[in-house]
Structure 1
Amino acid sequence: MDIIAVTIAAFFQFLGFAFFFVQPKDCCSPSPILGSWLFLLATLRFLWDVSIISRRFIPCNRIWQLVVETISTIFVAEIATIIIWCGIERFLYGLIEDFLGSCGPT
């Protein structure tokens, strides 16, 4: 993956822009955002190593390759953060809240 495509996707994700999915208004859960940032960094690092562009786009112009890589990187990063991470974070936050609530004084 091209460093420019990953950098553009990281810029939009860190600013909180979403192009393909609507972001939840409650920011997934009231837990600290450090986990979200670390998950996003790991996703972007993974996308940097993976070749998303198809072989049929290899002979294309360099600008078209960059456009396809940037759009696909933003799309995959949004799926990872908004759908996957928010679901995991909400589940774990609710589980921990229920567990700590049941351990407290009755």
Structure 2
Amino acid sequence: MARLSALGVAVLLHSVIGISYYYFFKMGRCSTEPSPLLGSWLFTGCVVAVLQAVRLIPRGVPNFTALLLETSMCCFVLDLMLTKLWCRIEGLVHCAIVGVLQICPVDDDSFLAYEYWTQATLTTVIGVCLLWVTLWALALPQRLRDELQSWRRACHRQLSRILFNGMEARPAPARQESALNFAA
């Protein structure tokens, strides 16, 4: 599991400050149009959640070295996922929106406003869905463990009820007679 400090530094460097390997080699943004950032931030949350769940550095590596290695690996993975995967998703959404909006008879200002807000809505919905699926998938092993434990408890209760309730099912007068016989 990646350290939270390494993830925090990686998110700060990549997403807040904007240091990126990709932008050094290929200047520019994902899309030519200004696009909303909320979907991108939600996708960043997905990547950070996956990175937090995966062990990046084996045990036994000195702390400072491990922190530097984890930070650089997290930056690289964030950069790769955001520039290659999210830019593709954003580009597909943008092409679909432009294709649909070109059919509608609107003026240029309305077209740009519809384009921006439709892209904001769709990328946010996609980001929320991806984050939900990621968090659900990461919690699946714990949920399965909890369900298995709950199932074992229920089986144990049922088995105990079957086995031990049969012993207490004798009629009450018979118990009183045996207690009187024992006392006599």
Deviation at 1:11, TM superposition (A): 0.5
Deviation at 1:60, TM superposition (A): 2.1
Q: Which runs of 4+ in 1 moved over 3 A?
A: none
**Structure 2: 5+ residue runs without aligned partners?**
106-184
Instruction: Give the aligned partner of residue 51 of structure 1.
Output: 55
TM-score by length of 2: 0.50
Structure number with higher relative contact order (C-alpha < 8 Å, ≥ 6 residues apart): 1
Deviation at 1:3, TM superposition (A): 0.6
**Structure 1: 5+ residue runs without aligned partners?**
none
CA distance in 1, matches of 2:6, 2:22: 19
Give the 5 Å matches for 1:1-106: 1-12=2-13, 13-18=15-20, 20-22=21-23, 24-28=27-31, 29-53=33-57, 55=58, 58-102=59-103, 104-105=104-105
CA distance in 1, matches of 2:16, 2:87: 15
More helix by share: 2
Q: Determine if contact 1:6/1:48 at 8 Å carries over to the other structure.
A: yes
Deviation at 1:40, TM superposition (A): 1.0
CA distance in 1, matches of 2:95, 2:87: 12
Summarize the Cα distance change of 1:40–1:24 in structure 2 as closer, same or farther, 3 Å threshold: farther
Decide which moves more: 25-34 or 66-75.
25-34
Aligned residues: 101
Rg (Cα) greater in structure = 2
Identity %: 28
Deviation at 1:27, TM superposition (A): 4.5
RMSD: 1.9
Q: Determine if contact 2:40/2:86 at 8 Å carries over to the other structure.
A: yes
Summarize the Cα distance change of 1:24–1:39 in structure 2 as closer, same or farther, 3 Å threshold: farther
